[in-house]
Chain A
Amino acid sequence: MSGGRRLDELDRQIVARLSEDARISNRQIASELGVTEGTVRARVKRMEAEKQIRITAITNIDRFRQGALAWIWIEVERSHQVKDVARALAAISELGFVGEMLGRSDILAITMVRSNEHLAEFVHQRISGIPGVRRTESTLGVNFVKHDYRMARIVS
């Protein structure tokens, strides 16, 4: 992957502040870091425009009592179909992660479901019918121990 998207030291300091609480004002960050408000505003704007950061609301999974993460591994019929199947999966709003993988299977998709039955139904109705899908293997999470929300691959 390219290194052109990397953050410099001031970017990182601004992001460190924003990754704790992004509702803080530019003025507050500027005074803490000893730079001008305009600098902070321009940096944040650039990092968002270049998809180096995304500023968003995240909600606590514990608030959704019946939620469990499901990992769905998808194998395609023919290797050249990986891209199209992955694109079709990325369009499914319930999926929070879709990646083309090397190794265990062809594609990994992650979603949140209410139960094993809900997972089976979701896979059957939304994934199995996508042209090119050969087989799927699903794993249901029982304890979500960690997710560092500060990291993600920002693609859109």
Chain B
Amino acid sequence: MALSPQREAAAAQIELDDTDHRIIALLRADGRLPYRSIARELGLTEATVRARVRRLEESRTMRVVAVTDIEAAGYGMLLAIGVQVENRSPEEVARELAAIPEVFSVNVVVGAQDLEILMVAEDQAALHQLLQGRIATMAGVRRLTPSLAVNVLKNQPDWVPFHDGDAP
């Protein structure tokens, strides 16, 4: 997979050893696990664990964050939408779509669609406004092929792109 030079540079390379992987695994299971408990679990000192976590964060390898349930955040609908693009580069359309807060995942793909996006909406009226008022009229967007998630059984994307300008 080709990465842009900025993104190559942004992911500062540090070598991850077994201890790093075990710390990440513990924090995936419980992001609020105290340093003391991690240290006890892995047979390390608390200072070592703190330093390791700081190194993982500073090298932009890992972040410990709160993920909010979309329903709790007030969004009643989740959709996956295929986007066909014409007369504009898919990357450009992808960036413009990425600026919409409700569009929470944007991927440039190869196949029948040029982009695959995931988006949320508060309700049908808000969805209609977003699709017809904002996305369908965007330069380069030819056709939208939406599909509505009626039951999400699993949603744990542990791998995401970190971007410059993201916090912190």
Contact = CB atoms under 8 A, between A and B. Distances in A.
Contacts of A58: 62-65, 157-160
B76 A102 contact: no
B24 A59 contact: yes
Contacts of A71: 80, 107, 109, 116
Nearest to A57: B27
Contact of B158 (A1, A96, A103): A96
B91 interface: yes
B80 A108 contact: yes
Contact of B71 (A5, A103, A150): A5
B67 A139 contact: no
B51 interface: no
A60 interface: yes
Nearest to A149: B160
A27 B146 CA distance: 44
Interface residues of A, number: 72
A52 interface: yes
Interface residues of B, number: 76
B145 to A, nearest CB: 6
Given A15-B68, A57-B24, A96 B157 contact: yes
Interface of B is mostly: mixed
A80 interface: no
A102 B32 contact: no
A96 B16 CA distance: 23
A146 B155 contact: no
A111 B109 CA distance: 14
B161 interface: yes
B153 A141 contact: no
Contacts of A15: 66, 68
A108 B147 contact: yes
A2 B69 CA distance: 13
Contact of A151 (B7, B8, B104): B104
Nearest to B53: A23
B142 interface: no
A49 interface: no
Contacts of A117: none
A87 B153 CA distance: 7
A64 B1 CA distance: 10
A57 B68 CA distance: 14
A140 interface: yes
Contact of B153 (A52, A68, A155): A155
Given A55-B32, A63-B11, A145-B94, A140 B110 contact: yes
B54 to A, nearest CB: 9
Interface of A: 1-2, 5-7, 15, 18-23, 44, 47, 51-69, 71, 83, 86-87, 89-90, 95-105, 108, 110, 112, 138-156
8 contacts: A52-B72, A54-B31, A59-B159, A103-B145, A108-B149, A143-B94, A145-B161, A155-B152
